[in-house]
Structure 1
Amino acid sequence: MCQDTPANVDREDQLVADEPVETDSEADLESLLSETTSIKSSMLQYRQENGRTYHKYKDGHMQHEIFYLTWDGKLGVTPPCEPDAKVGRVLDLGTGSGLWAIEFGDLHPEAEVLGMDLSPTQPSDIKAFEAVTQDRSTDCIATHRVPPNVKFEIDDFDEDWLYSQPFDYIHSRIINGGVGDWKKLIKKAYDNLQPGGWFEIQESEFSPAADDGTLPPEKALSRFAVLVRDAVKAFGRPFVEVPTLKDILTEVGFEDVALTRYKWPTNPWPKDPKHKRIGEWNFHNFAGAVETMALAPLTRVHGWTKEEVLVFSAEVRKDLRDPKVHAYFPIYTVVGRKPLKAATPAAATETAPAETSA
């Protein structure tokens, strides 16, 4: 489907299509999906080119690596993510496996990093990290030892925050569909930041698009996105339109608010090398997970059978691999800085909840 650029976007990627290479058969798709060795090598090479060590690849790291590639080897776009930045307290909302928090702690040993998530999937030490990876299929780098400056807590970011000290940087990534009230969340981030502190939202709204009309609504990929978004809404946590968050940050009181729209191609169709690589990685990231993503929404909400989901998933993968479909997933950053003269409410200085030591 075609998607107009939101009027309040400050910057977005521009993509040009390369000459397509035909991949028509399901065998072609299976061949592409089986190329994990070359993908791992590509990731390792990119890490080494950017002066970083990548110890051991685990399935599920790919999304983290695509973000890393998108921002040219950085973990975010705000000043605290610059290599020479000196950062104090950092909060990672919806930390998941804890990979972002661990890597930020490695890069900034002076920082105090706290990862918050409702599910207990974060490691407390290297043995726990490996056990979680094995027993729960959690997406972790098992060879990364948790730095001493990184801690995790099991908590719900939709509930009240009662931290003993404010933060210098608050980060969230891909929590859309899991937030009860975005305005309340953004207000809590504002209240719990030091004056001059940054809030960075890295987000998707699961709405694949093609600027040249090569992804019409009748395509399986287009229908899949609509079905999933409708199901998430029925579950009570609808996807927010990410560009609307920019106005909320401004309304709450943030300054230097900026919205940037990135494009993750569905396969290596773009001409420029960076987005061609992103497309290759994103195809592997998404195509292998289609059935898992589709099963619960389509069976529980839409009443499909498992067999119908499997057939439909194959159609979705066909659209994903088609180089004539110049589709991409929009990815956004929404950032803002708390004014230097702003006050930090008393709520941010009350007794902190227990923080699990790493």
Structure 2
Amino acid sequence: MAESTAVETRVIVPEPALEVDDNKDSDSAYGDELSSYSASIASSVQNYEWKHGRRYHSYQAGSYQFPNDEREQDRLNARHHVMLRLMHDRLFLAPIKPDGMRILDIGTGTGIWAMQLGDLYPSAELIVGNDLSPIQPQWVPPNVKFLVDDVEKDWAEAQKYDYIHCRYMAGSIRDWPSLVRQCYNNLKPGGWLELKKGNPRPYSDDDTLKPDNNVALMLQFLCEACDKVGRTLNPAPNFERLVAEAGFKNIEKKMFKLPLGAWPKDPRLKEIGAFMALDFIEGVEAFTLVPFTDVLGWTKEEVDVLNTKVRHDAKRRDVHYVFDYYVVTAQKPE
């Protein structure tokens, strides 16, 4: 195993502060963008659990605190669109050519990333998406398949991949060093790993985000709930160290500024920010219900009150929220 101190990491610094659109009449941010992009995905009915009117998986009780119903699937598909636009319409940043590759998408969710990759690269040998819940569609590109698997246990299919893609897994993993080692062991020599996650601590470049903001407070409480169950919501700052300690080389970190709200001047970032605002307005219930009631001991009524405040603050044009989004790519030595 390589010593972490001997690994050189190339870091691409975040973009400069985003420009604010001062045109108050240009805000069409919270209209039909989400519904026009997202589509409900039919799921295979399993022994799911229902809490507070939302459906949750029951594959391993307690390992995932967020719903898997159609409302959540729509949100995840919209969040995929955000990440795609944030990375300038690229599904991956690792220096790979998927043709002929065996690829794994960890925690595939609705499977949208894997299916889009399969459509773009029909010559990829196999794209596997794994998840705790079988919510993926049945009709997929011929080189795509899905399986139910818990990546924190022995992997259901022991095979070597050329590329492993992992995003949306914060709050889901108890042992990140073990997961990264699993990825290393299941990659072919020369294979690539790509880890993606945003920092859940928002900030503003112009001091418009104040400590009493309800979006920031909700995320603070959510981080506390995830820490209490041993599944951090903020693993991204440790990604470089984890891949170095596992023995990866050619490590590169890229950081993107992810806005919330339609306040940016740049049209692409305005679109991204609009979707992110909708993500919080329509998705805050999914973030909070189980973590706040089951872990923090809140009542359902207390959670509802906070969520109403979060929805209000997520619509504010005078608060210029920014999240840092991390993408770390690393290669297994030849």
1:9 and 1:241 map into 2 onto residues whose CA distance is: 17
Instruction: Give matches, 1:49-88, under 5 Å.
Output: 59-60=74-75, 61-80=77-96, 85-88=98-101
1:257 and 1:20 map into 2 onto residues whose CA distance is: 41
Instruction: Give matches, 1:5-24, under 5 Å.
Output: 9-14=11-16, 15-19=18-22, 21=24
Would the alpha carbon gap of residues 194 and 150 (structure 1) be closer, same or farther in structure 2, given more than 3 Å must change?
same
- How many residue pairs align between the two structures? 290
For the residue of structure 1 that corresponds to 2:74, the secondary structure is: coil
Gaps of 5+ in 2: 1-8, 39-72
Bigger mean CA deviation after superposition, 216-225 or 10-19: 10-19
For the residue of structure 2 that corresponds to 1:239, the secondary structure is: coil
Give yes or no for contact 1:176–1:205 (8 Å, CA) kept in 2.
Answer: no
Would the alpha carbon gap of residues 253 and 320 (structure 1) be closer, same or farther in structure 2, given more than 3 Å must change?
same
Aligned to 1:116: 130
Give yes or no for contact 1:113–1:150 (8 Å, CA) kept in 2.
Answer: yes
Query: 1:151 Cα deviation (Å)?
Result: 1.2
1:41 and 1:244 map into 2 onto residues whose CA distance is: 36
Which residue of the other structure, out of 256, 271, 282, is the alignment partner of 1:262?
256
Aligned to 2:276: 282
Give yes or no for contact 1:87–1:168 (8 Å, CA) kept in 2.
Answer: no
Instruction: Give matches, 1:1-358, under 5 Å.
Output: 9-14=11-16, 15-19=18-22, 21=24, 33=30, 35-36=31-32, 38=33, 59-60=74-75, 61-80=77-96, 85-111=98-124, 112-123=126-137, 125=138, 145-161=139-155, 163-340=157-334
Would the alpha carbon gap of residues 160 and 59 (structure 1) be closer, same or farther in structure 2, given more than 3 Å must change?
closer
Q: Which amino acid aligns with 2:19?
A: V
1:59 and 1:322 map into 2 onto residues whose CA distance is: 23
Percent of residue pairs identical: 37
1:290 and 1:162 map into 2 onto residues whose CA distance is: 33
Would the alpha carbon gap of residues 221 and 190 (structure 1) be closer, same or farther in structure 2, given more than 3 Å must change?
same
1:188 and 1:290 map into 2 onto residues whose CA distance is: 32
Query: 1:42 Cα deviation (Å)?
Result: 8.1
For the residue of structure 2 that corresponds to 1:90, the secondary structure is: strand
Question: What do residues 282-325 of structure 1 show as CA deviations (whole Å, max 9, x unaligned)?
Answer: 11122111133222222223333323322222221222121221
2:313 and 2:230 map into 1 onto residues whose CA distance is: 29
TM-score of the superposition, structure 1-length normalised?
A: 0.74
Would the alpha carbon gap of residues 303 and 181 (structure 1) be closer, same or farther in structure 2, given more than 3 Å must change?
closer
List 4+ stretches of structure 1 deviating above 4 A. 38-43
For the residue of structure 1 that corresponds to 2:208, the secondary structure is: coil
Question: What do residues 212-242 of structure 1 show as CA deviations (whole Å, max 9, x unaligned)?
Answer: 2221222111111111111112223122441
Query: 1:160 Cα deviation (Å)?
Result: 2.2
For the residue of structure 2 that corresponds to 1:170, the secondary structure is: strand
Query: 1:157 Cα deviation (Å)?
Result: 0.6
Q: Which amino acid aligns with 2:224?
A: D
2:194 and 2:228 map into 1 onto residues whose CA distance is: 28
Gaps of 5+ in 1: 1-6, 44-57, 126-144, 341-358
TM-score of the superposition, structure 2-length normalised?
A: 0.79
